[in-house]
Structure 1
Amino acid sequence: MAHPLIPQLEALAKDLLTQAGYELRGVQLHSHRIPLTLQVLVQKADGSDISLDECASLSAPLGEAIEAAELLPGAYVLEISSPGIGEELHDDRDFRSFRGFPVEVLFRDGKGAETRREGLLLERDAEAVHLNLRGRPLRIPRDEVIAVRLVTASGDS
């Protein structure tokens, strides 16, 4: 379950980032860490990755906006980064951008058991996620997919 502050943090970050010419790709609040860690994933408006300097330049204004809104009581760490390895793919843009990349798909098979498969992402269409699994096509129905995540190449895909 998502932290109850996520919608407010997303709205705040989205407004600030849009005005600065960036796009919010996700917000995660890691409340189990001490101090609390807020991770904000950002891309340029054209979908390209942002640089470390751009991450650094966004940190102060975003931190100030969060402080002004008094959303996070106490100490916290603000991490601004570009989506990458380990990140889940969510929308059509993600699936187009990472076509050909190694991914891990977590899904429920026909018997309801959770299963993982790693392969190269071919595409996602209205019915399924398609992978290249060691040279063989694999079709996983979308209604069975729990998550699709970028992974590092393992050499067996």
Structure 2
Amino acid sequence: MLLKGSCHCQSVNFEVESYTPYPFMRCYCSICRKTAGGGGYAINIMGQAETLKVNGMNHVQVYHAILGKDKHGKPKTSTGRRHFCKHCGSYLWIFDPSWKEWVYPFASAIDTPLPKPPERIHMMLDFAASWCEIPTGKNQIHFARYPEESIEEWHKRHGLYDEQV
């Protein structure tokens, strides 16, 4: 599926091919919660990095999340590169050189209508804000940290993996 996305001010537009386009996983870690907006979580989709095309890259800035401090008190940063618009602050995608073949657009930046997932995974709940309401009930699955299942495995299990990309 071709995903098209943009920032709020339209300075940046991008597209990427994805065979895992269902926005099913909500991450409540402090990095996602604080960088993605006011909902208390972020939703990332996986796309093929080699297909990422960006118009307006000169308007994009990169943030490396701070993971803590080393023994000398200096910040330790993530290898993940969180790309955002330097004008309006919209978060666009994450790229991590540890997984060079993938790019992870924020579902909130995607303009293409996305398919509705049959279930939702809520992960990193150990780090959720106390005010954040975590949905419960049918088709709501919870993890204190990371689930064992990958984005690709989840799509395959539900018969939603699109190998035509």
Q: Which has the higher contact order (CA 8 A, sep 6+)?
A: 2
Which structure has the bigger radius of gyration? 1
Compute the TM-score of the two structures, normalised by the length of structure 1. Answer: 0.25
Compute the TM-score of the two structures, normalised by the length of structure 2. Answer: 0.25
Kindly indicate which of the two structures has a greater share of residues assigned to helix.
1
